[in-house]
Copies of this chain bind each other. A is one copy, B any other.
């Protein structure tokens, strides 16, 4: 594969080249990894940055409809929009969110949009590391906004927040009791809570739910990276396309403030540090995953299990095998 040529095509905004490059960074083959690292290094020199928006919400809150409506609005303003997914469930089921592009029928037909389903890797950590690189590829391809969707139970939100400049939590209208269903940790990650389905008979419930969450957010400690009145809760209707422009205006205001204060840059720097550490730790532990190392691990684990060796001695032998000591 000619990495220089692939890089040039990505920089020119070629979506097929982008798709091919994402497949490259998702590959586990060692030679692909070498190519991927070279490509990313080359593209990073262009210094292009998109606004990275993390988006979380449980199934049924209308995430796909929101992304479709919100994405179409941004495209209508002349912006280029990429949509990626981090899906903890796909690791188990082999399925993936965004698997069905028809859920975003209009957006997927836009030349200024790019939609990529979640890779089905064996664990969340692997998915996340490669998604971070897919985000970098989208930035190099000139996208203005990269939406990173997740449906999660806490851990995937943490990962997505480490990939994002701002984090949206999409909720459905609900009675007061159901407020408790959102984990405090996820609420604390959110920069903006959007209560969707503020239309038709659900509109008054949505308004009440939004007020409830606004109240709950006021109880959280103010974060240094937030201006006054953030994090905040808003109502939207993805179906009727109400409130989307207001939500986008709030996002832009937040980003402008953070950029002016330096928080935006600090966050990106901290994220780069974090992912560097993750890459190093992952690569060290990956030495245990070769077929030969697995066989040796299994042999020594059995020796420890039957009592021929203590776990400590067996570990020492494994490290000697890996030539680490």
Contact = CB atoms under 8 A, between A and B. Distances in A.
Nearest to A315: B279
B133 A284 contact: no
Contacts of A36: 312
A244 to B, nearest CB: 32
A1 interface: no
A307 B37 contact: no
Contacts of A132: 311
Interface string A279-302: 111011101100000000100111
A276 B304 contact: yes
Contact of A306 (B269, B280, B281): B269
Interface string A256-280: 0000000000000110110111111
A305 B273 contact: yes
A192 interface: no
Nearest to A49: B307
Contact of A324 (B133, B276, B277, B284): B284
A136 interface: yes
Interface residues of A, number: 45
A202 interface: no
Interface of A is mostly: helix
A189 interface: no
Contacts of A309: 41, 44
A47 interface: yes
17 contacts: A37-B312, A41-B309, A41-B312, A41-B313, A44-B310, A272-B305, A273-B301, A273-B304, A276-B300, A276-B314, A276-B318, A279-B311, A279-B312, A280-B319, A281-B285, A284-B285, A284-B319
Interface of A: 36-37, 40-41, 44, 47, 132-133, 136, 269-270, 272-273, 275-281, 283-285, 287-288, 297, 300-302, 304-307, 309-316, 318-319, 322, 324
